[in-house]
Amino acid sequence: MSFMTKRSNTSIRLEVGISQSMQALVQAGQLAGEVLEVNQRVGYLVVKTPLSLVPYRNPATVRISLKKVNNSQTDVEFASESFDGVIGSGAAGAAIDKIIRELERILG
């Protein structure tokens, strides 16, 4: 059996300021998994999300970076990686999707 690291990246623009974006992303991260690290000064957080069917296998680590565009917009970049088997579970991309879904619910 072969194992490999899978990666996924995406970026979005939020129509809220950087402070509100950070708070919402921390909440979304807590709902999607476990927030491992938060650095508000730099605009960075790390979330570990479990696989829904088998939580202890193939968790994905999502690094989220925020960049202020102006007072009412924030660019958010997601970089996720997971350690999958041959077939893979798509955990890296699914983790980002999960956080974005929670974020949409929080921001309405």
Hey, how many other C-beta atoms are within 10 angstroms of the C-beta on 15? Answer: 10
**Distance (Å, rounded) from C-alpha 28 to C-alpha 49?**
11
More confident residue, 89 or 50: 50
Q: pLDDT of 15-37, one tens digit each?
A: 999 999 999 999 999 999 999 99
**CATH, residue 78:** 3.30.530.20
pLDDT of residue 39: 96
**Distance (Å, rounded) from C-alpha 66 to C-alpha 38?**
11
Q: pLDDT of 66-81, one tens digit each?
A: 999 999 999 999 999 9
Q: Which domain holds residue 58?
A: 4-107
Q: 9 CB contacts (<8 Å, ≥6 apart)?
A: 77, 78, 79, 80
pTM equals 0.86
Residue 70, both tokens: 């102006």
Domain count, the chain: 1
